[in-house]
Structure 1
Amino acid sequence: MIKPIVMFDHIPFAYIVASILLRYLVIAGIAYGLFYYWQRTKWYHRKIQPHFPKPAIVRQEFLYSLTAVVIFAVVVHLVYTDPVKKYTKVYTNIHDHSMGYFFISVVSCIVMHDTYFYWSHRLMHWKKIFRYVHHIHHKSHNPTPWAAFSFHPVESLVEAGIVPLAAFTMPIHPLAFSLFGLYMIIMNVLGHLGYELFPAGMLKNKWLNWHNTSTHHNMHHHYSKCNYGLYFNIWDRIMKTNHIRYEETFEKAASGQQALAINQKSSIIYKTE
């Protein structure tokens, strides 16, 4: 009898570091190169904040992100390796569960992470914790894609907490974790992009307004005490933590009115903060 192929029985630490780092460099790098260099002028009308961050802030975002990548990899490696692994629900034989369940587990991870992120994020804004941990991420008042992983090491551990949380609560395959990780970095980069790519009128559509936008998280960096959500605009609505001018600011950014108003007030554009 031919035994089923079992993949991911042993995943080297170096492979985990490389895969997380590569995703970050490719997705954040393409976004940064496209919107902050190659198409900077073409897309300026969608810029959420008028100026561009100082090079020192961008370098800081990148360097803290490298530390975060290593910490994420350590947590993932621990979950995939005995003795921790044997207590989790991680399965390495893709045939142990149906492909339907495989995709359900990816979606479940995303929904679980959205809830986990909202409440851990609000906790890190508690003034007794904020100045020791979350203030690093908020040094990016006007974030770029490189801010997606720009965390204090302690915050990196908190962010990585979704991995053991999912692994201990539901059966999940390493490939499903990888797809979740891909979705996470894409949405994280989008949230820190600094440009609004979603169409004007989206927040007036009841089928689309549950999803967060670049403006939503950008306003969180700008104002701090609002817009705590990650992927979906559900917990912010329930807890009434959306910024009062969120929809107005989104419409201006998505329609190009934000840039038009800025240019009417000042002849100096593309300025670095």
Structure 2
Amino acid sequence: MDLVLEYCDEYVFDAAYAYLFPAPITFSNTTTLSSPSPSSSSSSPLPTSSYARDAIPRQLASLFIIALSAALALYFLFCTLSYYFVYDRRLEHHPKFLPRQKRQEIISSLIAAPVIDVMTLPWFLGEVRGHSKLYNRVGEYGWAYFAFSAVWFLVFTDFLIYWIHRLEHHKLVYKHVHKPHHKWIVPTPYAALAFHPLDGYLQSLPYHIFVYLFPMHRLLYLGMFGFVQFWTILIHDGDMISGHLLERFINSPAHHTLHHLYFTCNYGQYFTWADKTFDSHRDPMPELDPIHESLKAMRAKGLLGKKTD
């Protein structure tokens, strides 16, 4: 995040803060009203802000703007691509698909995103102020560790998210934190961020904790953050393709579709091993595909013939 902040300061925020919070103009004792010399007029200093780049209030405000802008940009980009090119919109005829559900999912996401962003700011601030284990040069740990850290990031965060997610389904927690996300029994990709803010924050914690425990290259960390958002949208696309080899190891959209339908299975984020180890795994089966109920409803409305297309 510090690399992103550095570029934003250079090309956007320096000028913006100087305009909004200009530094006081001071005059030296030798200042006169005489015309400036040619050399002085051509090298006049640029306006500056009363908030330096490393001022904590400025960093917090900048990080909030960056994180929220990036999250919403990725959300609308990936969700829209998934909705129009991957998602089977016949699912919107499912009996448990809510009226104006897509609109509700988007509104819920827009409400949750800035709140989650605020709660996440201390982690981002710690990163830009050098308190994490993020590093700049691949040579510091080598390419082997660079590759390993990407895999370890997925394994570590998957395990923690599994238990956070599973505990959120406990009867003492569920209705207060996680139930709003399960309002979408047959979700669209736009449900990917439609969480209660505390729910979204808790499930994001492992990503932030990781770089305070283990070294990770800064650019790789940014890339993994983008991948996390992409994957969260991907598993909400309702795709129930099953029977492929990777299904045994990867928590696919089919697995997560069953999680929304049946609530007490497939808590994992990327992999199936935790669900299989702790007895919460449910295999995707073609007969469990919610499209069957959608097609029945469409036939009842006269939108399909007697046979499935």
TM-score when normalising by structure 2 = 0.68
Q: Which runs of 5+ in 1 are unaligned?
A: 1-5
Q: Which runs of 5+ in 2 are unaligned?
A: 9-61, 305-309
Is the Cα–Cα contact under 8 Å of residues 106 and 194 in structure 2 kept in the other structure? yes
2:160 maps to 1:121: no
2:273 maps to 1:234: yes
Query: Higher relative contact order by CA 8 Å / sep ≥ 6: 1 or 2?
Result: 1
Is the Cα–Cα contact under 8 Å of residues 52 and 270 in structure 1 kept in the other structure? no
- Residue in structure 1 matched with residue 243 of structure 2 by the alignment: 201
- Residue in structure 1 matched with residue 176 of structure 2 by the alignment: 132
Moved more, 115-124 or 75-84: 75-84
Once the 2 structures are TM-superposed, how far is the Cα of residue 82 of structure 1 from its aligned partner?
4.5
- Which of 226, 232, 240 in structure 2 is aligned with 1:182? 226
Is the Cα–Cα contact under 8 Å of residues 72 and 160 in structure 1 kept in the other structure? no
Partner Cα separation in structure 1 for residue 112 and residue 152 of structure 2: 24
Partner Cα separation in structure 2 for residue 63 and residue 171 of structure 1: 37
2:66 maps to 1:27: no
- Residue in structure 2 matched with residue 3 of structure 1 by the alignment: none
Deviations 1:154-209 (A, max 9, x none): 1122022123310211012332222212222222222111223x4x421xx3x651
Is the Cα–Cα contact under 8 Å of residues 136 and 151 in structure 1 kept in the other structure? yes
- Residue in structure 1 matched with residue 132 of structure 2 by the alignment: 88
- Which of 18, 25, 29 in structure 1 is aligned with 2:69? 18
Is the Cα–Cα contact under 8 Å of residues 258 and 284 in structure 2 kept in the other structure? no
Partner Cα separation in structure 2 for residue 138 and residue 163 of structure 1: 23
Is the Cα–Cα contact under 8 Å of residues 109 and 191 in structure 2 kept in the other structure? yes
Count of paired positions: 248
Where do 1:102-117 residues align within 5 Å? 102-117=146-161
Deviations 1:45-64 (A, max 9, x none): xx699458334332222122
- Residue in structure 2 matched with residue 222 of structure 1 by the alignment: 261
Partner Cα separation in structure 2 for residue 240 and residue 185 of structure 1: 27
TM-score when normalising by structure 1 = 0.76
Q: Structure 1 residues 74 and 90, CA, compared in 2 at 3 Å: closer, same or farther? A: farther
